[in-house]
């Protein structure tokens, strides 16, 4: 297999983009990525998108987006694995380049979520859970993650304040990201006194409904080396699944798919948790980030809450997590999130992250998760 590098990235400000359509926001980021890479043609494209049919009534977006990007007749595919759609799109694009089937591949992600009301958005997102055994009984994703949070609190002594600190940290980072949906800081008190959604989770523990897109261009490393920019290689890729329903799992506080995908990526990259300089992880709810860093081996089981309390996961800490602001502050257009995570890692490793730039990072990781952890994609990147 060939080594693969990211040579172009494109992302715009996320939020409630009333004046733009799904095709508009995707094409805008794809053109930015093409410009960043210095190319105008691709050989293939993969686009992560969870629920365009439910959110905007549009299916067959593989054809739609290739058409409006002006790239027909290149092969184009929509990728769906709930909120991990963007991460899986990258994995499939990576496999195509690594295999030698194509040299230049566009990987994108997009979701337009605000064209429906709150009830319809909740229904669309809920389709990523087990509809017969969870959705039928009325539980929503805040409810599922509330069950995880309560179990984690009972088993490990994780506190409400520790979960609130995850939101505080990520908003502190997001305040330095001009493209974030909510680029402002919050306090522990504001989290703890915000509206209750599903006990113990409050509204400021939850990622928002977001419109947004993100795109990257990947190619063989040999081609990337000819360009006048840092070479950011994809050195590890992992993908795993778990039982979709929480009640079927041995331990609802443990994200087995994340553990397995992480192990695959570590083995492929020949790296260990202590080698990772920064992470972008799937903090759809504050408890999710706590569980993810445990499953990836960054801290011991049950110590995720203490890690944020001790500021280990801050930009200035030993294990910087979500310097972009994460899903919590940057936003969470579900199909695009996994690709945006890659963009933050590429910017950090290239020294191009602005005010939130870490000091000389070399190895970064992304973790993109579907549903309540039923699927996970992990990638590891290294600056050559």
Task: Report the percentage of the chain scoring pLDDT > 90.
Answer: 99
The torsion angles phi and psi of 77, rounded to 5 degrees, stand at -135, 135
Q: Which residues have a Cβ under 8 Å from the Cβ of 30 and sit 6 or more positions away?
A: 10, 65, 69, 106, 108, 213, 215
Q: Looking at the structure, do residues 201 and 216 belong to the same domain, yes or no?
A: no
Task: Answer whether residue 229 is part of any domain.
Answer: no
CB 341 within 8 A of CB 366: yes
- What's the CA dihedral at 53, 58, 61, 66 to 10 degrees? -160
Look at residue 45 in the predicted model and tell me its pLDDT.
98
Same domain, 59 and 186: no
CATH at 158: 3.40.47.10
Comparing CA positions, the residue from 35, 355, 278, 323 lying closest to residue 173 is: 323
Measured CA to CA, the distance from residue 16 to residue 122 in angstroms comes to 16
Helices (H), the chain: 22-37, 52-56, 61-69, 85-99, 118-126, 141-156, 160-174, 188-192, 221-224, 256-269, 286-295, 304-309, 326-330, 337-350
> Which of 45-49, 131-135, 207-211, 277-281 comes out lowest in average pLDDT?
131-135
Average pLDDT, the chain: 97
In a domain, 185, yes or no: yes
Domain end, chosen from 224, 259, 294, is at 224
Examine the domain organization and report whether 240 and 149 are in the same domain.
yes
Taking only the tens place, the pLDDT of each residue in 197-242 is: 999 999 999 999 999 999 999 999 999 999 989 999 999 999 999 9
Packed helices 286-295 and 160-174: angle between N→C axes, nearest 10 degrees: 90
Last residue of some domain: 190, 224, 258? 224
- 120-168 pLDDT, tens digit per residue, is 999 999 999 999 999 999 999 999 999 999 999 999 999 999 999 999 9
Mark whether 218 and 190 lie in a shared domain.
Answer: no
Q: Which residue has the tokens 């509206």?
A: 195
Q: Residue 213 forms beta bridges with which residues?
A: 110
Strand partners, 279: 321, 365
Contacts of 219 (CB under 8 A, 6+ apart): 4, 5, 7, 37, 97, 103, 104, 105
Asked if residue 372 is part of any domain, the answer here is yes
Taking the C-alpha atoms of residue 324 and residue 279, their distance in angstroms, rounded to an integer, is 10
Which contacts of 226-229 are long-range, i.e. CB under 8 A and separated by 24 or more positions?
227/7, 227/37, 227/38, 229/7, 229/350
368 plus 379 within the same structural domain: yes
Please indicate, yes or no, whether residues 70 and 174 belong to a single structural domain of this protein. no
Instruction: Please check whether residues 350 and 363 belong to one and the same domain.
Output: yes
Overall average pLDDT of the 51-62 stretch: 97
Under a CB-based contact definition with an 8 Å cutoff, are residues 381 and 235 in contact? yes
**Residues 8-37 pLDDT 10s:** 999 999 999 999 999 999 999 999 999 999
Query: What is the share, in percent, of the chain residues with pLDDT greater than 70?
Result: 100
- Residue 129 gets which letter from DSSP? S
Structural domain span for residue 74: 4-117+210-224
Do 281 and 349 lie in a common domain?
yes
Residues 66, 37 share a domain: yes
Do residues 211 and 333 lie in contact, with contact meaning Cβ atoms separated by under 8 Å? yes
- Provide the pLDDT for residue 150: 98
Based on the fold, state whether residues 220 and 133 are members of the same structural domain: no
Q: Are 179 and 278 found together in one domain?
A: yes
Q: What is the DSSP string of 326-350?
A: HHHHH---TTTHHHHHHHHHHHHHH
Angstrom distance (rounded) from CA 306 to CA 317: 13
Domain annotation covers residue 286:
yes
Give how many domains the chain has, as a whole number: 2
Domain limit, last residue, from 195, 224, 253: 224
Residue 307 lies in a domain: yes
Q: Rg for the chain (alpha carbons), in Å?
A: 19
Q: Are 162 and 299 in contact (CB under 8 A)?
A: no
Phi, psi values for residue 364, rounded to 5°: -130, 160
* Domain co-membership, 343 together with 248: yes
Residue positions annotated with a catalytic role: 83, 332
Does 356 reside within a domain? yes
Look at residue 104 in the predicted model and tell me its pLDDT.
Answer: 98
| Residue 260 within any structural domain of the chain | yes
Assess if residue 110 is contained within a domain.
yes
The pTM (predicted TM-score) of the whole model is: 0.98
């Amino acid at each position: 297999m060939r080594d693969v590098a990211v040579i172009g990235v494109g992302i715009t400000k996320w939020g409630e983009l009333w004046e733009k359509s799904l095709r508009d926001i995707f094409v805008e980021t794809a053109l930015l990525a093409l410009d960043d890479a210095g190319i105008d043609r691709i050989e293939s494209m993969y686009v992560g998108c969870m629920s365009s049919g439910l959110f905007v009534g549009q299916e067959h977006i593989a054809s739609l987006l290739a058409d409006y990007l002006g790239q027909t007749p290149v092969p184009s595919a929509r990728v769906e694995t709930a909120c991990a759609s963007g991460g899986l799109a990258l994995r499939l694009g990576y496999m195509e380049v690594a295999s030698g089937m194509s040299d230049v591949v566009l990987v994108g992600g997009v979701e337009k979520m605000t064209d429906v009301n709150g009830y319809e958005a909740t229904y669309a997102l809920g389709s990523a859970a087990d509809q017969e055994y969870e959705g039928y009984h009325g539980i929503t994703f805040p409810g599922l993650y509330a069950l995880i949070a309560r179990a984690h609190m009972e088993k490990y002594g994780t506190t409400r304040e520790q979960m609130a600190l995850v939101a505080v940290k990520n908003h502190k980072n997001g305040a330095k990201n001009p493209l974030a949906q909510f680029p402002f800081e919050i306090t522990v008190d504001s989290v703890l006194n915000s509206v209750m959604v599903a006990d113990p989770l409050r509204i400021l523990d939850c990622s928002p409904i977001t419109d947004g897109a993100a795109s990257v261009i990947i190619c063989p490393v040999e081609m990337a080396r000819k360009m006048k920019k840092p070479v950011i290689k994809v050195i590890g890729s992992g993908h795993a699944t778990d039982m979709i329903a929480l009640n079927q799992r041995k331990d609802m506080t443990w994200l087995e798919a994340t553990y397995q995908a992480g192990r695959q990526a570590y083995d492929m990259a020949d790296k260990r948790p202590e080698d990772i300089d920064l992470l972008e992880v799937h903090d759809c709810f504050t408890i999710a980030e706590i569980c993810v860093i445990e499953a990836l081996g960054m801290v011991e089981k049950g110590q995720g809450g203490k890690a944020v309390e001790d500021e280990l996961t801050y930009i200035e800490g030993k294990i910087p997590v979500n310097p972009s602001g994460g899903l919590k502050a940057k936003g969470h257009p579900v199909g695009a999130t996994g690709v945006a995570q890659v963009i933050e890692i590429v910017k950090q490793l290239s020294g191009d992250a602005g005010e939130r730039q870490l000091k000389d990072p070399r190895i970064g990781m992304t973790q993109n998760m579907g549903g309540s952890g039923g699927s996970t994609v992990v990638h590891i990147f290294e600056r050559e």
